[in-house]
């Protein structure tokens, strides 16, 4: 399950999360002052378990043999922040501002199972002033989220109707379109961990004994079996889960910094799944998802841009340029109302797309700092 937290905004920003640049085996200027988390195949060692409320920087090092991910859970059991896909021998720096209470840091070697838990205690009260422009940005983003969920449901209803009627061509045509809204707000949607694996789990991510449902199960039947006979319950289940998301999404905890972190996570989704062709491995409709992820990240940036321009004009200029470049790259592959099949994009062209994503991701990783 790939999840990204969106945290609570209640007057002052008492809980925020900022994912910093990192990765690789290099060193950063801030690394020396960071708390450390050593994630190995058998442990989740945190250098300090009694922390003051407010901002703490963590340097997560993967000393194990498996790709790992690390989650920060608040006192209520909700995800406060997380970082996935930390490769063996690499590190990632993340700054997390935590509210008071007993909570947990969880390392998941192999990115499966319940993980290795480390209890921590956070004491005191964090407080701060909220720029009214950022309050408006959060409110406007909530409207955008509602619109995207509604769009997802409307298009999925058409997709489900085609599946249930056995209209293979119609279902294939509607598959990518039905996913577009979800992909645009994926970090928010994924925060509801009970829904995400039921609707968006890939076959490659299945755990032993886990039921496979959702879009990608239907995708395989459509493109590999060329039949959806008997899939009526699967199709109905997909729509049921999306409607459950619609009922819950207003409870999503959102802050300007979590919006910014979500924008970065959307580019990470492209870099780790869409570029490789692993996301829509049967339909090869990856570019539709790619476009939705980038559009979602750009929407966040546009909403908080006035503050970014004021605090870091150079960053705003760089992001303006890089968003134009990545959108121009995507435009090359437009075909009708959609995009070419991704299996027709050769290795060299995929590298060009990947380079454009990376050029955007680097400055985007600084976005949260500009609004924190």
Record the tokens describing residue 302, joined without a space.
């546009």
Compute CA 92 distance to the chain's CA centroid, rounded to the nearest angstrom.
16
Q: Tell me, yes or no, whether 5 lies in a domain.
A: no
Q: What are phi and psi of 224, to 5 degrees?
A: -100, -50
145 & 96 share domain: no
Angle between helices 132-165 and 286-311 (to 10 degrees): 170
Strand ranges for 63-115 from DSSP E: 68-73, 79-86, 91-98, 101-107
pLDDT in tens, 304-362: 999 999 999 999 999 999 999 999 999 999 999 999 999 999 999 999 999 999 999 99
pLDDT at 10: 30
Q: Tell me, yes or no, whether 4 lies in a domain.
A: no
142 & 84 share domain: no
178 & 296 share domain: yes
316 & 360 share domain: yes
Q: Tell me, yes or no, whether 8 lies in a domain.
A: no
Q: Are 76 and 105 in contact (CB under 8 A)?
A: no
pLDDT at 61: 96
Q: Tell me, yes or no, whether 207 lies in a domain.
A: yes
Which range of residues forms the domain containing residue 74?
Answer: 16-123
The domain boundary, picked from 123, 155, 181, lies at 123
Residues forming a β-bridge with 36: 59
The CATH number of residue 264's host domain is 1.20.1420.20
Q: Tell me, yes or no, whether 155 lies in a domain.
A: yes
Q: Tell me, yes or no, whether 219 lies in a domain.
A: yes
* Burial (0-12, 13-18, 19+ Cβ within 10 Å), 342: buried
55 & 147 share domain: no
Which H or E run includes 16?
Answer: strand 16-19
* Burial (0-12, 13-18, 19+ Cβ within 10 Å), 33: exposed
165 & 263 share domain: yes
Nearest to 299 by CA among 332, 267, 338: 267
264 & 333 share domain: yes
Q: Are strands 101-107 and 68-73 parallel, antiparallel or unpaired?
A: antiparallel
Q: Are 232 and 164 in contact (CB under 8 A)?
A: yes
58 vs 145: CA distance, rounded Å? 30
259 vs 372: CA distance, rounded Å? 11
284 & 141 share domain: yes
36 & 175 share domain: no
The domain boundary, picked from 67, 91, 123, lies at 123
13 vs 31: CA distance, rounded Å? 25
Whole-structure pTM value: 0.79
Q: Tell me, yes or no, whether 191 lies in a domain.
A: yes
115 & 157 share domain: no
Q: Tell me, yes or no, whether 3 lies in a domain.
A: no
pLDDT at 126: 54
R_g (Cα) of the chain, nearest Å:
20
User: Which residues of the chain, if any, have pLDDT below 70?
Assistant: 1-33, 55, 95, 97, 125-129
Sign of CA dihedral 152, 153, 157, 158: negative
pLDDT in tens, 194-241: 899 999 999 998 988 899 999 999 999 999 999 999 999 999 999 999
Nearest to 293 by CA among 327, 335, 320, 344: 327
Angle between helices 132-165 and 168-184 (to 10 degrees): 170
DSSP letter string, 41-62:
SS-EEES-SEEESEEEEEEEEE
pLDDT at 207: 85
205 vs 208: CA distance, rounded Å? 10
The domain boundary, picked from 101, 123, 145, lies at 123
pLDDT at 21: 40
209 & 308 share domain: yes
237 vs 231: CA distance, rounded Å? 10
191 & 66 share domain: no
Domain count within the chain = 2
* Burial (0-12, 13-18, 19+ Cβ within 10 Å), 78: middle
Residues forming a β-bridge with 71: 82, 106
The CATH number of residue 103's host domain is 2.60.40.420
152 vs 238: CA distance, rounded Å? 11
pLDDT at 176: 98
């Amino acid at each position: 399950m790939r999840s990204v937290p969106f945290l609570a905004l209640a007057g002052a920003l008492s809980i925020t999360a900022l994912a910093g640049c990192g990765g690789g085996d290099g060193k950063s200027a801030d690394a020396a002052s960071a708390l450390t988390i050593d994630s190995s195949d058998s442990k989740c060692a945190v250098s300090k378990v009694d922390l003051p409320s407010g901002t703490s920087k963590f340097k997560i090092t993967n000393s194990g043999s498996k790709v790992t991910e690390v989650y920060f859970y608040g006192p209520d059991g909700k995800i406060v922040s997380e970082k996935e896909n930390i490769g063996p021998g690499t590190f990632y720096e993340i700054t997390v501002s935590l509210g008071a209470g007993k909570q947990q840091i969880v390392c998941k070697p192999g990115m499966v199972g319940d993980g290795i838990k480390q209890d921590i205690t956070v004491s005191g009260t964090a407080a701060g002033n909220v720029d009214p422009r950022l309050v408006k940005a959060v409110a406007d983003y909530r409207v955008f989220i509602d619109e995207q969920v509604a769009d997802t449901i409307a298009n999925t209803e058409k997709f489900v109707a085609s599946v249930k009627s056995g209209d293979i061509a119609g279902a294939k045509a509607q598959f990518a379109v039905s996913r577009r809204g979800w992909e645009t707000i994926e970090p928010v949607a994924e925060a509801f961990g009970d829904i995400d694996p039921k609707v968006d789990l890939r076959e490659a991510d299945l755990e032993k004994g886990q039921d496979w449902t959702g879009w990608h199960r239907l995708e395989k039947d459509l493109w590999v079996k060329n039949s959806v006979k008997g899939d009526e319950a699967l199709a109905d289940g997909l729509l049921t889960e999306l409607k459950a998301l619609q009922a819950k999404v207003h409870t999503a905890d959102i802050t300007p910094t979590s919006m910014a972190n979500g924008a970065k996570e959307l580019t990470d989704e492209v870099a780790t799944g869409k570029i490789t062709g692993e996301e829509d491995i049967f339909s090869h409709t990856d570019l539709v998802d790619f476009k939705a992820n980038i559009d979602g990240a750009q929407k966040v940036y546009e909403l908080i841009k006035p503050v970014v321009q004021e605090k870091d004009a150079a960053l705003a200029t760089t992001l303006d340029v890089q968003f134009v470049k990545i959108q121009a790259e995507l435009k090359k592959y437009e075909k009708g109302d959609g995009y070419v099949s991704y299996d027709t994009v050769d290795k060299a062209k995929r590298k060009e797309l990947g380079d454009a994503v990376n050029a955007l991701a680097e400055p985007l990783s600084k976005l949260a700092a500009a609004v924190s």
